[in-house]
Structure 1
Amino acid sequence: MPKMVLTAEYLSINSNDLSEYTRKAEVTVEVEEKDVTNYKSLGWKEVIGGLKSGTLACEFLQDFAATKLDAIMWPLLGTVVPFEVRADQAAVGPSNPSYSGNVLIAGWSPVTGSVGDEATVSQDFTTSGAVTRATT
């Protein structure tokens, strides 16, 4: 059985490679469950898929220096921008698919943490439109 440890994940937001700041990037896609149960279902619940939605959940190591993470993300607040996530920074291929789409930058938490903590930013971004999977 193949196994994998994530050691070089790739994350791009608005064409900025943010991999050097990224500790976690998770793409989650779901489909609404619509109940279509009727009397002909004979007591069994029947469901079909409805609208699709997704989330890009990230954890970053903060950097306030000019042209670094905070300077990249702050101006994007309130905009819809492209993203791309890969399990590895290598080229896209059958064993390293790319997941991409657009996300709304609806929030940014530039300063979080307690005394002695590393400066991190944990933020979830909602997808806008389709999320695609590519292998070429």
Structure 2
Amino acid sequence: MVLLAQHLSINGNTLNEYTRKAEVTVEVEDKDVTTYASLGWKEVLGGLKSGELGCEFLQDFAATELDSIIWPLLGTVVPFVARADQGAVSTSNPNYSGNILIKGWNPIEGSVGDEATVSMSFPTSGAVTRATT
């Protein structure tokens, strides 16, 4: 599969026209429950789950564009939706959704001659779900 048309929505705003990369990662803490009965082998159980939405955007400061959409969300928990393709949700194009904390925003980054990009990671708050319908 080649990613050609990812879908990303934050707080109900479809951000496909600004998005260069969207990554949804989830993980589970590993809790060490090793005892002497483990006979020298480490044993673990799953603990708390967490996730993150990593994004790279092309910046736009115009009145109704990217910066004006994200800036007011700073410090709030908002919904997100991401999938590999902008097409309909299906078993071959699952929808990942949940809530993220907009914990920071880097409105200006880059060097001379670079395109104006914004690279951010937002932690999830609560469950991340996967839907195929």
- TM-score, length of structure 1 as denominator length: 0.97
Paired residue for 1:72?
Answer: 69
Shift, 1:69, TM fit:
0.2
> What is the CA RMSD across the aligned residues, in angstroms?
0.3
Paired residue for 2:33?
Answer: 36
Identical residues among aligned pairs (%): 78
Deviation string 1:55-75 (CA, Å, 9 cap, x unpaired) is 000000000001100000000
Paired with 1:117 and 1:130, the residues of 2 have a C-alpha distance of 36
Amino acid at match of 1:46: E
The alignment of Structure 1 onto Structure 2 pairs a total of residues equal to: 133
The residue matched to 2:24 in structure 1 has which SS?
strand
The residue matched to 1:73 in structure 2 has which SS?
helix
Unaligned runs of 5+ in 2: none
- Runs of 4+ that moved beyond 6 A: none
Amino acid at match of 1:67: T
Paired with 2:88 and 2:78, the residues of 1 have a C-alpha distance of 22
2:78 to 69, 78, 81: 81
1:60 to 57, 60, 69: 57
Paired residue for 1:133?
Answer: 130
1:121 to 103, 115, 118: 118
- TM-score, length of structure 2 as denominator length: 0.99
Paired with 1:125 and 1:99, the residues of 2 have a C-alpha distance of 14
